[in-house]
Structure 1
Amino acid sequence: MTTAEFADAQVLSEGSPALDDAWVRQLAQEHYGIDGEMKPLTGERDRNYRFERATDGARFMLKISHPAETALVADFQTQALLHLAATDPGLPVQRIVPTQGGAASFVCDPGDGLPRVVRLFTYLPGLPLPEAPRTPLQQQNLARMLARLDLALAGFEHPAGELPLPWDLQRADSVRGLLAHIAEPERRALAAAALDRFERDAKPVLRTLPAQPIHNDFNIYNVLVDPADTDRIAAILDFGDMVRAPCINDLAVAAAYQAGTDGDPLAAIVPLVAAYHAVRPLSPAEVGVLFDLITARLVMVVAISGWRAARYPENAPYLLRNNPLSWARLQACERVGTAAATAALRRAVNL
């Protein structure tokens, strides 16, 4: 993916055009027979609405996709959820609610000439993970749930899985052209060095590793926990960044958001990897590239957000809100180094 293609793809990160509430209500009533309280929800790309059915209080989420998102990409997410419902019904992910005619989704035009894909999902309650106390057991459960999700997605295929995606870790070097937006020379050099290691040591190996559709964004903001038992994972959200990629990338993304910023960044990563390995065993080759994938993901976070902030300065404070933490994690990982980190990860999984 070139920098120009990357820029075009990032247009999808801009908000979807506003929709008339009355039109949305009519849509829900006509296609799903739902009449009740409606509340708009936040969404990076799509228009999302929570409905509470008047007859029984059941809650649902209506998703109206961004008009720039193709029906093929939307179907990738839809079919993945249908696959998960069949292969592991106990996984805490949203379920597709069919229309009154039995369709998993349909296309509508609100009158602006821009067709959109519409789907209805079950609504999953829970406490956002960042708002919950953190414990070792919670972290282990998080890793086990990700491993279980990856196992459940094994065997699933979809043509959209091969489409270019800005957040595809196996193409982390595509953000190299965005490093120019990093003002500080020291930070720019740090990010470039991490991408160098990725290109030299990890990328050639990735082509040999087991690949499948993966969630690709298993960060703490896409996980809910049970408010009454915050060690229990209650929901996995947002399958909008799915891609077909080496399975180890899913663990690398999750681990990137667990790295500590003070002292040893591996203190949180090592038990996460060990817990994942207990459910979905890792190969020596996967463990060998994991740390370089973690740092590459952190570079993607700071590079993409920095580029977007330069492109949309009016939204810079929001776009850069997580950058200080990501930089601190990247700097902490750099102090450890790939060799020492990989040795620690190998010991954790007895490889």
Structure 2
Amino acid sequence: MDQLPPARPPLGIEPATRACALTGNRTLTSWFTRRPQPLSHAGRAVLPSCFVLSALPQRTLLMVLDSGSQTKSHLVRLLTYLPGRPIAEVPVGPQLLYEIGRLAATLDKTLEEFHHPKLRCLRREDFIWNLRNVPLLEKYLSALGQNRNREMVEEVLRLFKDEVLPKLSHFRECVNHGDLNDHNILVEPSEPASGEAAFRVSGILDFDDMSCGYYVFEVAIAIMYMMIESRDPMGVGGHVLAGFESVIPLTPAERGALFLLVCGRFCQSLVMAAHSCRLHPENAEYLMITAKTGWKHLQQMFAMGRRAVEDLWFDTARSYGSGVPV
């Protein structure tokens, strides 16, 4: 392969910047034709995202580097830069959780306008990170050994197959970002309403896990990841849900599946982390980020019980006055 594949226009927006690597002088040269535009929906700016910079025609995209003992060729992929800090680095309160929920819904609405000849490629039937594929985790359960954690995951898989999969036809389809975690959402300081530090969502990273799914998948994924570092993990869901439903109110069928979908995402993250650690123990610190608190949160959800967790989430969402019936 001697050149990068053509960059896919994010959300139907043509790439704004073009770049190539010149092997002759081993430098990276870029040409900026105009500033990247933010994602937009209904004529309004939503949020900026990174662009993959497409290559100038008739130019090689291999960069040759001499390391002294040998010469290696490298494919070059250049992305635009987004300012901001990951929300993992800032305190997250109810208002920011609400904005994250609103972001998730607005992003899914925006992706409805994403058109591309290869859009069918997002129907990733066996993609392990698509929430509909939670049952595929069965082949990786050996990574957990024989313990209470494995029993809990097996219970989630059983309930998921019995109660979620039969209802998929009742969920509304969309294209999901699929990975709105606390390292993929950027924030910048904003004017505080009180004396406390305030932040606003300023950008979205990492569209590699995009796939065809359902609205309720996106909010479930966002809830799960926002729970990871929260000091009040069980309370997170209501604030995220309120923000999401301010844009896309969930149907009764979608609401009824939310608890198991959040549990399913915990299982995906925890099981695949354990499996990946067996393959790449040198990356254990990164791979086990979710596991540091994830098992505890999943256990707490089971200990509280489905009805209690749902009541907490739905009552909190209703307190925002979104007008969504419980």
TM-score band (shorter)?
0.7 to 0.9
Matches within 5 A, 1:309-320: 309-320=277-288
Whether the aligned pair in 2 keeps the contact of 1:107 and 1:116 (CA below 8 Å) is no
Per the TM alignment, residue 345 of structure 1 is displaced from its structure 2 partner at its CA by 4.0
Deviation per CA, 1:150-179, whole angstroms, max 9, x where unpaired?
111124351111123221111111111211
Mapped pair 1:210 → 2:172: yes
Query: Who is 2:156 aligned against?
Result: 194
Q: Is the 8 A contact 1:130 1:220 kept in 2?
A: yes
Aligned to 2:95: 137
Residue 150 in structure 1 maps to residue 108 in structure 2: yes
Aligned match of 2:137: 175
Listed as ranges, the gaps of 5+ residues in structure 1 are 1-20, 35-57, 61-80
The 1-side partners of 2:43 and 2:297 are apart by: 34
Quickly say closer, same or farther: Cα 1:175–1:241, change in 2 above 3 A. same
Q: What residue in structure 2 maps to residue 159 of structure 1?
A: 120
CA drift at 1:27: 6.7
2:45 matches 1:90:
yes
Partners of 1:225 and 1:235 within 8 A in 2: yes
Q: Is the 8 A contact 2:230 2:236 kept in 1?
A: no
Separation in 1, partners of 2:293, 2:101:
21
Q: Deviations over 1:20-49 (max 9, x none)?
A: x985995741xx337xxxxxxxxxxxxxxx
CA contact 2:26–2:63 (8 Å) conserved in 1: no
Counterparts of residues 117-132 of structure 1 (less than 5 Å): 118=77, 120-121=79-80, 123-132=81-90
The equivalent of 1:288 in structure 2 is: 256
Change (3 A) 1:248 1:24: farther
The answer for the alignment partner of 1:270 in structure 2 is 238
Structure 1: distance between partners of 2:106 and 2:146: 40
8 Å CA contact 1:287, 1:345 repeated in 2? no
Relative distance call for 1:184 and 1:26 in structure 2 (3 A) is same
What is residue 31 of structure 2 aligned with on the other side?
33
Aligned-pair CA distance for 1:99: 5.2
Amino acid at match of 2:263: T
Whether contact under 8 Å (1:266, 1:341) holds in the other structure is yes
Confirm or deny: 8 A CA contact 1:85 1:95 kept in the other structure: no
Describe the superposition over 1:284-303 as per-residue Cα deviations: whole angstroms up to 9, x where unpaired. Answer: 11101011000000001110
The separation in 1 between residues aligned to 2:94 and 2:169, in whole angstroms, is: 33
Deviation at 1:96, TM superposition (A): 3.6
Match of 1:5 in 2: none
Gaps of 5+ in 2: 1-20, 65-70, 192-197, 319-323
Aligned mates of 2:243, 2:204 — CA distance in 1: 17
Cα shift at 1:265:
4.2
TM-score by length of structure 2 reads 0.75
In the alignment, the residues of structure 2 paired with residue 133 and residue 337 of structure 1 have an alpha-carbon distance, to the nearest angstrom, of 28
Amino acid at match of 1:350: P
The residue type paired with residue 133 of structure 1 is: P
Which of 289, 293, 309 is the aligned partner of 1:321? 289
Corresponding residue number in structure 2 for 1:63: none
Paired letter, 1:161: L
Instruction: Return closer, same or farther for 1:151/1:326 CA change in 2, 3 Å cut-off.
Output: same
- The percent identity for this pair of structures is 25
Work out whether 1:238 is the aligned partner of 2:206: yes
Question: How far, CA to CA, are the matches of 2:188 and 2:230 in structure 1?
Answer: 28
Distance 2:86 2:230 in 1: 24
- The DSSP-based 3-state class of the residue aligned with 1:207 is helix
What does residue 219 of structure 2 align with? 251
Kindly provide the CA deviation profile for residues 243-282 of structure 1, in whole angstroms up to 9, marking residues without a partner as x.
Answer: 0001110100000123379997431111211221112111
CA distance in 1, matches of 2:136, 2:238: 28
Q: In 2 relative to 1, CA 88–241 (structure 1 residues): closer, same or farther, beyond 3 Å?
A: farther
The secondary structure found in structure 2 opposite 1:33 is: strand
* Change in 2 beyond 3 A, CA 1:338/1:245: same
Between structures 1 and 2, the one with greater helix share: 1
Counterpart amino acid of 2:167?
V
SS in 2 for 1:92: coil
Give the deviation of 1:59 after TM superposition. 9.9
| Residues in 1 aligned to 2:72 and 2:221: alpha-carbon distance in whole angstroms | 37
Structure ID, larger Rg: 2
User: 1:118 deviation in Å?
Assistant: 4.0
